[in-house]
A = this chain, B = another copy of it.
């Protein structure tokens, strides 16, 4: 079966299952992540209280960890939740927001990666470079990196870490270490709204919770978000109207159908 049909199957399967997806994510984009999960057809849950995260994770189908506003308290909750997910074979997606910005974030990710096994790690080029130990310009949470080696970096790091690596940006690379796809959808408006990266990670969690494998989950989520970004932009009368863009993005995600995905998806197999 070709990649795009696998994406459509993953979407159908997830909508039927309506998976519970637990999030320990950042406070800036909490609401957007909950809404995008509902829009795609999952059932998102949010809590970062250490006394309940293991219980919550145990009834969920996937876990999303996002360090966007991580603090000492919520880092411990992430460790606790991640261990419970590993014990229960519940897949986890890690979003290392701004890992290069501060030593605290770097050490948080280092510890999470030591103590927890992830199914998918998704970040922008700057973030994934830091994880790969390649160095990247120290900046905030947005990437300014050259993305030309993205497919090779994703493949190498996936092989090294034994999990799927997704690098999102102008184009996106998703590799499981064996097979690497470069995805070519999307619109620059996606970078002009806060939380589109976090939302993509939440969508990966939705697909993981739906029962798809890590590679297809990451490809599906990224294609859904980037195709929705294209359609939402086309709906705009003023292409710069970033408030309306975000609304149309949510509208489009809630109504995405297999035919649209089939016609629009640009996925190139690299290896």
Contacts and interface: CB of A to CB of B under 8 A. Distances in A.
B238 A243 contact: no
Contacts of A43: 139-142
B27 A49 contact: no
A242 B250 contact: yes
A69 B55 contact: no
A8 interface: no
Contact of A31 (B55, B105, B195, B255): B195
Contacts of A34: 28-29, 194-195
A241 interface: yes
A40 to B, nearest CB: 10
Contacts of A251: 238, 240-244
A129 interface: no
Contacts of A20: 139-140
A15 B15 CA distance: 41
A103 B39 contact: no
B46 A101 contact: no
A55 B103 CA distance: 8
A171 B56 CA distance: 28
Interface residues of A, number: 61
A95 interface: no
Contacts of A241: 251, 254-255
A101 B38 contact: no
Interface string A92-132: 00000010011111000000000000000000000000000
A91 B39 CA distance: 35
Nearest to A140: B45
Contact of A98 (B45, B139, B195, B249): B45
A86 interface: no
A60 interface: yes
A247 interface: yes
11 contacts: A27-B27, A28-B34, A38-B242, A45-B141, A47-B69, A47-B102, A59-B138, A71-B73, A241-B255, A244-B248, A246-B250
Given A35-B193, A240-B251, A244-B251, 7 more contacts: A20-B139, A27-B30, A28-B46, A55-B104, A56-B102, A243-B251, A244-B248
